[in-house]
Structure 1
Amino acid sequence: MKIINIILFFCSIVTAQLPVNSVVLDTLIERMFTDTEYVGFSVIISNSDSIVYVNNSGVSDIKSQKQINHKSDVFRIASISKLFTTIAVLQQVEKGLLNLDEDINKYLDFSIPNKIGRPITLKHLLTHTAGFEDKTRGTYTTSIEQLQPLNLYLKEKMPDKIYPAGEITLYSNYSFALAGYIVERVSNEKFFDYITKFILQPLGMNESFVYEEDTFQDRIMPSYTKKADGSFEKFNTILYRNLSPAGMINATPYDMSRLMQLLLRNKELLNQNILSTNSIKNLLTIHHRYSPQVQGYGLSMYEKKIGDLKSMNIGGQLPSFSSQMSIINDSIGIYVCANTSMNRPLISLIDSLAFKLTTNSLTDTIGYKKIANPERYAGSYRWNRYNRKDLDYLRGLYANTKVLYYNDDGFFKFYGSPDKWIYQTEKQFREKNSGKYILFDINPDGSVKGIKGNLILDMPVYLERFKFIETGKILDNTIGYMLIIFFALPILWGIVLIIKKIRKTVHRYDKTFASKTISVLISGLFFLHLLLFRNILANYIDFVTDETSATIIIYHLSIIMLILLSLQFYVMIRDMLKKNISLFDRITFGILMFTGITYYLLMTKYNLFWFSL
Structure 2
Amino acid sequence: MNTIKKWHLFLLAFTTLLMTQSANIVEAESLTNQDEVKSFVDTHMEKDLDKYHIPGAVIAIVKDDEILYSKGYGMADISKDKKVDADKSMFRIASTTKLFTWTAVMQLVEAGKIDLDTDINTYLTSFKVPNTFDKPITMRDLMTHTAGFEEGGVGYQITTDTKRLNTTIAETLEKHALARVRPPGEKASYSNYGAALAGLIVEDVSGLSYTDYIQENIFNTLDMKHATLAEPLPKKYKDNEVIGYNYTNEKFTPGIPTYEGGFSPAGAGTVSANDMAKFMLAHLNNGTTQGKRLLDKKTTNTMHQTAFRFDKRLPGSALGFQEGEINGKKTLSHAGADTMFITDLYLVPEENIGIFLSYSGGQADDALASMKKHIFDYLFPITKKESPTFIPSTKEELANFTGSYKFTRRNYSHIDKFFSLLVEMKVAQENGQLVIGQGNEKEYFKKIDTNLFQQVDGQQKISFKTDKSGKATDMLLSIMPDMPLEKTTFWDQSSVWLILLAISIAIFIIVTIILLIQLKRNKKISHHSKQTIWLTIITAIISILTLGLTVTNVLNMDVLQRLSEVTLALKLFLFLPLFVGGLTCILLVRNGMDWFKKESSLVIRILTTTVFLAALTTSLFFIHWNLMGWLFG
- Structure 1 residue 304 corresponds to structure 2 residue 324: yes
Contact 1:16/1:47 (<8 A) preserved: no
Query: Which residue, out of 130, 136, 141, partners 2:153?
Result: 136
Aligned to 2:431: 408
Which consecutive residues of structure 2, in runs of 5 or more, have no partner in the other structure? 1-30
Aligned to 1:353: 375
5 Å-filtered alignment, 1:307-326, equals 308-326=328-346
Q: For the structure 1 residues 514 and 160, does the alpha-carbon distance in structure 2 shift closer, same or farther, using more than 3 Å as the test? A: same
Which has the larger displacement, 435-444 or 548-557?
A: 548-557
Q: Deviations over 1:174-209 (max 9, x none)?
A: 111111011101111111122222222332222221
Contact 1:144/1:214 (<8 A) preserved: no
Q: Deviations over 1:29-58 (max 9, x none)?
A: 456677544333222212243332235444
Q: For the structure 1 residues 230 and 382, does the alpha-carbon distance in structure 2 shift closer, same or farther, using more than 3 Å as the test? A: farther
* 3-state secondary structure, aligned to 1:205: coil
Contact 1:295/1:453 (<8 A) preserved: no
- Structure 1 residue 175 corresponds to structure 2 residue 197: no
Which consecutive residues of structure 1, in runs of 5 or more, have no partner in the other structure? 1-14
Per the TM alignment, residue 78 of structure 1 is displaced from its structure 2 partner at its CA by 0.6
> 1:282 is aligned with what amino acid?
T
Query: Which residue, out of 90, 93, 100, partners 1:77?
Result: 93
CA distance in 1: counterparts of 2:118 and 2:283, whole angstroms = 25
> 1:174 is aligned with what amino acid?
Y
Aligned to 1:202: 221
Per the TM alignment, residue 319 of structure 1 is displaced from its structure 2 partner at its CA by 1.8
5 Å-filtered alignment, 1:136-535, equals 136-137=153-154, 138-147=156-165, 148-213=167-232, 220-225=241-246, 233-236=253-256, 238-265=258-285, 269=289, 271-306=291-326, 308-330=328-350, 331-340=352-361, 342-343=364-365, 345-358=367-380, 364-373=386-395, 374-399=398-423, 401-408=424-431, 410=433, 412-415=435-438, 420-432=444-456, 434-455=458-479, 458-466=480-488, 470-472=492-494, 474-476=496-498, 478-483=500-505, 485-486=507-508, 489-490=511-512, 493-494=515-516, 497=519, 499-500=520-521, 506=523, 508=525, 510-519=527-536, 521-522=538-539, 523-524=541-542, 527-528=545-546, 530-535=548-553
Contact 2:305/2:319 (<8 A) preserved: yes
Which structure is richer in relative contact order (CA contacts within 8 A, separation 6 or more)? Answer: 2
Contact 1:18/1:357 (<8 A) preserved: no
Q: Number of aligned pairs? A: 590
Contact 1:536/1:547 (<8 A) preserved: no
CA distance in 1: counterparts of 2:307 and 2:342, whole angstroms = 26
Provide the aligned C-alpha RMSD in A. Answer: 3.4
Contact 2:543/2:618 (<8 A) preserved: no
CA distance in 2: counterparts of 1:467 and 1:336, whole angstroms = 39
CA distance in 2: counterparts of 1:289 and 1:237, whole angstroms = 36
Contact 2:215/2:228 (<8 A) preserved: yes
* 3-state secondary structure, aligned to 1:202: coil
Contact 2:542/2:580 (<8 A) preserved: no
Contact 1:389/1:611 (<8 A) preserved: no
CA distance in 2: counterparts of 1:115 and 1:266, whole angstroms = 38
CA distance in 1: counterparts of 2:542 and 2:437, whole angstroms = 40
CA distance in 1: counterparts of 2:271 and 2:103, whole angstroms = 16
Query: Which residue, out of 34, 47, 63, partners 2:63?
Result: 47
CA distance in 2: counterparts of 1:172 and 1:41, whole angstroms = 27
Q: Deviations over 1:490-527 (max 9, x none)?
A: 56655654x44xxxx54527433433443455434762
Query: Which residue, out of 133, 141, 145, partners 1:124?
Result: 141
CA distance in 2: counterparts of 1:558 and 1:21, whole angstroms = 59
CA distance in 1: counterparts of 2:558 and 2:413, whole angstroms = 15
Per the TM alignment, residue 440 of structure 1 is displaced from its structure 2 partner at its CA by 0.6
Per the TM alignment, residue 301 of structure 1 is displaced from its structure 2 partner at its CA by 0.9
- Structure 1 residue 106 corresponds to structure 2 residue 122: yes
Per the TM alignment, residue 233 of structure 1 is displaced from its structure 2 partner at its CA by 4.8
Contact 1:514/1:571 (<8 A) preserved: no
Per the TM alignment, residue 334 of structure 1 is displaced from its structure 2 partner at its CA by 0.7
> 1:46 is aligned with what amino acid?
V
Q: For the structure 1 residues 408 and 275, does the alpha-carbon distance in structure 2 shift closer, same or farther, using more than 3 Å as the test? A: same
CA distance in 2: counterparts of 1:290 and 1:101, whole angstroms = 19
CA distance in 2: counterparts of 1:78 and 1:470, whole angstroms = 31
Per the TM alignment, residue 157 of structure 1 is displaced from its structure 2 partner at its CA by 2.9
Identity among equivalent positions (%) equals 23
CA distance in 2: counterparts of 1:436 and 1:580, whole angstroms = 66
CA distance in 1: counterparts of 2:213 and 2:97, whole angstroms = 13
Per the TM alignment, residue 302 of structure 1 is displaced from its structure 2 partner at its CA by 0.9
CA distance in 2: counterparts of 1:418 and 1:231, whole angstroms = 35
Question: TM-score, normalization: structure 2?
Answer: 0.83
Question: TM-score, normalization: structure 1?
Answer: 0.85
5 Å-filtered alignment, 1:577-596, equals 581=600, 585-596=604-615
* 3-state secondary structure, aligned to 2:621: helix
Aligned to 1:558: 577
Q: For the structure 1 residues 362 and 316, does the alpha-carbon distance in structure 2 shift closer, same or farther, using more than 3 Å as the test? A: farther
Per the TM alignment, residue 243 of structure 1 is displaced from its structure 2 partner at its CA by 1.8
Query: Which residue, out of 84, 96, 99, partners 1:68?
Result: 84
Q: Deviations over 1:541-569 (max 9, x none)?
A: 66543225345435544333322211122
Q: For the structure 1 residues 207 and 93, does the alpha-carbon distance in structure 2 shift closer, same or farther, using more than 3 Å as the test? A: same
CA distance in 2: counterparts of 1:18 and 1:534, whole angstroms = 53
Which has the larger displacement, 585-594 or 15-24?
A: 15-24
> 1:288 is aligned with what amino acid?
F
Q: For the structure 1 residues 214 and 301, does the alpha-carbon distance in structure 2 shift closer, same or farther, using more than 3 Å as the test? A: closer
Q: For the structure 1 residues 409 and 598, does the alpha-carbon distance in structure 2 shift closer, same or farther, using more than 3 Å as the test? A: closer
* 3-state secondary structure, aligned to 1:398: coil
Aligned to 2:15: none
CA distance in 1: counterparts of 2:624 and 2:411, whole angstroms = 14
> 1:97 is aligned with what amino acid?
K
Aligned to 1:601: 620
